């Protein structure tokens, strides 16, 4: 008698995240990101939210791009929708045109500053995952607790 092989179903490819909070290591709403006064006007700043206390730039960090235009702040997960790779591994590698765009340094897809929609590159029409943020009374930029509370 020939032993029968057990046939297991093939795992389905993981679904693309629909929101920033679907990403691994996403911080909780209310998490403080950076002080508004520490953001350079017209620049995108990469902010790491450390999930493992005491770990410096660990694999569990969640990286957010925070963009400032006056008192208006936008934030996006540091993840290109084309292949799911980071736009940049660190701040010094971030390609940006102040007030206009940020770009992926893998395939150079360019995303609008105002809403994260890809204008040129491999993923035209797709968008960066927006992270809703608010600026509290102390000037701290925090992840909004509800999408309707987000201002920026």
In a domain, 23, yes or no: no
Q: Which domain holds residue 125?
A: 30-147
pLDDT in tens, 57-80: 566 789 999 999 998 999 999 999
* pLDDT of res. 71: 87
Tell me, what CATH number does 93's domain have? 2.102.10.10
* pLDDT of res. 145: 87
In a domain, 132, yes or no: yes
CB atoms within 10 A of CB 93: 11
* pLDDT of res. 13: 44
In a domain, 25, yes or no: no
In a domain, 15, yes or no: no
Q: For residues 104 and 81, give the distance between their C-alpha atoms in angstroms, rounded to a whole number.
A: 10
Query: What's the total number of domains in the chain?
Result: 1
Assess contact for 110 and 117: CB atoms under 8 A.
no
pLDDT in tens, 72-114: 999 999 999 988 999 999 999 999 999 999 999 999 999 999 9
């Amino acid at each position: 008698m020939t032993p029968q092989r057990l046939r297991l179903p093939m795992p389905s490819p993981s679904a693309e995240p629909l929101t920033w909070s679907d990403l691994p290591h996403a911080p909780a709403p209310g998490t403080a990101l950076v002080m508004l006064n520490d953001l350079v006007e017209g620049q995108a700043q990469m902010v790491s939210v450390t999930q493992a206390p005491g770990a410096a730039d660990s694999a569990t960090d969640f990286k957010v791009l925070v963009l400032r235009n006056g008192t208006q702040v936008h934030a996006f997960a540091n993840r290109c929708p084309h292949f799911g790779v980071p736009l940049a591994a660190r701040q010094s590698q971030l390609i940006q045109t102040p007030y206009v765009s940020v770009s992926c340094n893998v395939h150079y897809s360019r995303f609008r500053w105002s809403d994260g929609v890809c204008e040129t590159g491999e993923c035209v029409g797709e968008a960066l995952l927006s992270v809703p943020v608010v600026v509290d009374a102390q000037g701290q930029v925090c992840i909004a607790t509800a999408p309707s509370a987000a201002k920026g």
